[in-house]
Amino acid sequence: MNSVVIEPQVLRSLHRSELRKRILMYLNEIYPSATYLSEIARVIGSDPSNVRGALVGLGNRYNNESSLVYLGLVEEISRNGFKYYRLTEYGKRVVDYLREYHRYYRRFL
C-alpha cells in the first residue's frame, strides 16, 4: 500500500461520520473545483445544516476539532460574500489512501 502519513484524528473523524466521508468523496469527484454548501447537501442527499456541521463544526453534534476544514481536508474559500468549499491536496491524498485501503482489505472479507 501507498505510504501516506495520515493523522490518527483524521481517520477517527472519518470513521465516526459517514457524512464526512460522503462530502469528501463528492469533493474528490469535482476536484479541483470548489462548490457551495447547498450544492454539496443536494448532491449527497443531506440537510445543509448537517453538511455545515461536518465541514466547519456546529455546536455539540459536530465539534470543530473533527470538522473537515479544521482537519485540513477541505478549504473554505470566501469570494464576493459567498463561501465555497474545495478539497485540499492533503484531503485528496486521504481520499486516495482510503480507496486503496478499502480495496486492499476487501480481499480478506
**Confidence class for position 104, pLDDT limits 50, 70, 90:** confident
In contact, 78 and 61? CB cutoff 8 Å: no
| Cα–Cα distance measured from residue 62 to residue 70, given in angstroms and rounded to the nearest whole number | 12
Provide DSSP, 4-72.
----HHHHHHHHT-HHHHHHHHHHHHHTT--EEHHHHHHHHT--HHHHHHHHH-BTTTB-GGGSTTTTT
| Cα–Cα distance measured from residue 22 to residue 58, given in angstroms and rounded to the nearest whole number | 18
* 8-106 CATH fold: Arc Repressor Mutant, subunit A (1.10.10)
The angle subtended at Cα 11 by Cα 27 and Cα 88, nearest 5°, is 35
- Report the candidate in 68, 93, 61 with the shortest Cα–Cα distance to residue 76: 68
In contact, 88 and 23? CB cutoff 8 Å: no
Q: Where are the domains of the chain?
A: 8-106
What is the structure's pLDDT at 34? 98
pLDDT for 26-68, tens place per residue?
A: 999 999 999 999 999 999 999 999 999 999 998 777 788 999 9
pLDDT for 60-93, tens place per residue?
A: 777 889 999 999 999 999 999 999 999 999 999 9
Residue 7 has pLDDT above 70, yes or no: yes
